[in-house]
Amino acid sequence: MEKLRNDIRRRVRAYFNSSFGRKKFVPGKTYIPYSGRVFDAQEMVNVVDAGLDFWLTTGRFADTFEKDFSAFLGRKYSLLCNSGSSANLLALSALTSASLKGRRIRPGDEVITTACGFPTTLNPILQNNCVPVFVDVELGNYNIRTEVLDEAVSARTRALFIAHTLGNTSDLEYISAFCKKRGIWFIEDSCDALGTMFKGRLAGTIGDISTFSFYPPHHMTMGEGGAVTMDEPLLRKLVLSFRDWGRDCWCGSGEDNSCGRRFTQKWGGLPFGYDHKYVYSHVGYNLKITDMQAAIGCAQLEKLQSFIKKRKENFNVLMSGLSKYAGFMLLPSATPGADPSWFGFPILVKKNKYFTRGDIVEYLESRKIATRMLFGGNLLRQPAYRNIRKRVIGRLVNTDRVMNDLFWIGVYPGLTAEMLEYMIASFEDFFRSRKIYV
């Protein structure tokens, strides 16, 4: 049996080598994505191995990944789920559990966040019938403005839920102290910041609960996938329950009676001895991951340090090539204390008489260089959020600036030196075409 598996693995490696070798880069012809999967034969071998196990649901690869991911982060617990969006939903939903007694988030409670970013950081707040309180962002790092946080607090404030924008953080020391002082939860959406450090600590290890995404453009991928991490055992138990149908039982897939009291307990209005496997303590979901996805994640995790290093290097190459245009474009800057594992390279076009964001984006795209907006821009201007219940602190002036004037380009590990050179040369050509010589 094992010999047959080894034969299959060997063939998969041969298939990878013949099908996915490095392609020649042709400037202006080859598309330069903003991000994407970077993998070798090992990811394919792992996914085939998981297929041959035919366990299908969360299994041995998921167990290994959760253990190794926790070790990477220095966090006590990690739980895999099927996306970063699900991770965010689980993080906030878990905090609504009655088990948390006075610490529980209830409908109508307020959660401080920003409108500048990805919708599924915001959605769990609304899906749990809480009220988002929107604070503006800083220009340059596009994270929440810490100096106005005090203004956002009310008697109903229960949590602060923010994403680390494009890999950069806000002042996490300040935020963590702010949440502790107020006795509110700190949820870190670290989906775009795997590997980012803040004053010697990894982003995603500072909040009470943190989330990660493994969708292909992220720092590592499983195709689809996400993780929720925490240090408090009760929070792990709650996330697990919400992830696995809301059940009270914590047996793994295919496991029975790990508590030894499967038929000897009394729950709610159920008869004594009702099977613990089918006792539901929360109104939950099924957001589990399959073992094929986790298997890919195991291979990616081995490469994570090199991915992070390459993202930083690519960022630095772009920064040194583009810094001469700082008069026209606000270039990104790491928040003091942060060492970002960049997700992308954000550029805010300053008001000028020569060009707009639309002009430069169109030019770069015509040169086959992918650009992206900062996700939803100002989410409050999106059709889905026009009539939501909310509070807004001041005017979201910078969030609107982001929506109107910002775009970003890639730094992902799949970018080669010649691609980066071509990207910088394309900026040069654009400025020359506008008769701007710097």
Ligand X SMILES: Cc1ncc(COP(=O)(O)O)c(C=O)c1O
Residue 247 DSSP class: B
For residue 372, the minimal CB distance to ligand X (Å) is 10
Looking at beta carbons, which residue is closest to ligand X? 84
Distance of CA 326 to the CA centre of its chain: 29
Q: What is the C-alpha to C-alpha distance for residues 259 and 96, in angstroms, rounded to an integer?
A: 25
Task: Assess whether 164 carries a catalytic annotation.
Answer: no
110 phi, psi to nearest 5 deg: -105, 145
Amino acid in the structure at residue 308? I
Residue closer to ligand X, measured from CB, 169 or 426: 169
Q: Are 328 and 347 in contact (CB under 8 A)?
A: no
* Choices 115-123, 267-275, 390-398, 407-415 (CB under 6 A): range interacting with ligand X: 115-123
Q: Does 221 bind ligand X (CB under 6 A)?
A: no
Residue tagged active-site, from 218, 219, 276, 282: 218
H/E stretch holding 412 reads: none
One residue of 109, 192, 208, 248 binding ligand X per CB under 6 A: 192
Q: What is the C-alpha to C-alpha distance for residues 414 and 303, in angstroms, rounded to an integer?
A: 13
Q: Does 215 bind ligand X (CB under 6 A)?
A: yes
One residue of 61, 65, 69, 118 binding ligand X per CB under 6 A: 118
Residue closer to ligand X, measured from CB, 113 or 176: 113
* Choices 18-26, 29-37, 122-130, 184-192 (CB under 6 A): range interacting with ligand X: 184-192
Q: Sketch the per residue contact string, 333 through 362, with ligand X: x for CB under 6 A, - otherwise.
A: ------------------------------
Placement of tokens 């290890």 in the chain: 205
Q: Does 163 bind ligand X (CB under 6 A)?
A: yes
For residue 212, the minimal CB distance to ligand X (Å) is 9
**Closest C-alpha to 122, from 155, 162, 149:** 162
For the stretch 150-187, what's the b/e string if a residue is b when 16 or more beta carbons lie within 10 angstroms of its beta carbon?
eebbeeebbbbbbbbbbbbbbbbeebbebbeebebbbb
DSSP three-state, residue 251: coil
For residue 47, the minimal CB distance to ligand X (Å) is 18
Q: Does 83 bind ligand X (CB under 6 A)?
A: yes
Tell me the Cα Rg of the chain: 23
Name the H helices within 183-290.
Answer: 233-243
Q: Does 120 bind ligand X (CB under 6 A)?
A: yes
One residue of 121, 196, 229, 426 binding ligand X per CB under 6 A: 121
335-338 long-range contacts, CB within 8 A, separation 24+: 335/141, 335/143, 335/168, 335/169, 335/170, 335/171, 335/198, 336/171, 337/171, 337/172, 337/173, 337/198, 337/199, 338/168, 338/169, 338/172, 338/196, 338/197, 338/198
One residue of 195, 226, 344, 376 binding ligand X per CB under 6 A: 226
For residue 282, the minimal CB distance to ligand X (Å) is 21
Residue 422 DSSP class: H
Residue closer to ligand X, measured from CB, 216 or 413: 216
Q: Does 191 bind ligand X (CB under 6 A)?
A: yes
Q: Are 189 and 162 in contact (CB under 8 A)?
A: yes
For residue 361, the minimal CB distance to ligand X (Å) is 19
Residue closer to ligand X, measured from CB, 86 or 398: 86
Q: Does 241 bind ligand X (CB under 6 A)?
A: no
Q: Does 213 bind ligand X (CB under 6 A)?
A: yes
For residue 190, the minimal CB distance to ligand X (Å) is 8
Copy the structure tokens of residue 40. Answer: 């070798």
For residue 74, the minimal CB distance to ligand X (Å) is 21
Copy the structure tokens of residue 275. Answer: 């099977």
DSSP codes, 209-229: EEEEE-STTSSS--SS-EEEE
Q: Does 141 bind ligand X (CB under 6 A)?
A: no
The footprint of ligand X on this chain (CB under 6 A) covers a number of residues equal to: 15
Active site residues: 218
Q: Which residues bind ligand X (CB under 6 A)?
A: 83-85, 88, 117-118, 120-121, 163, 189, 191-192, 213, 215, 226
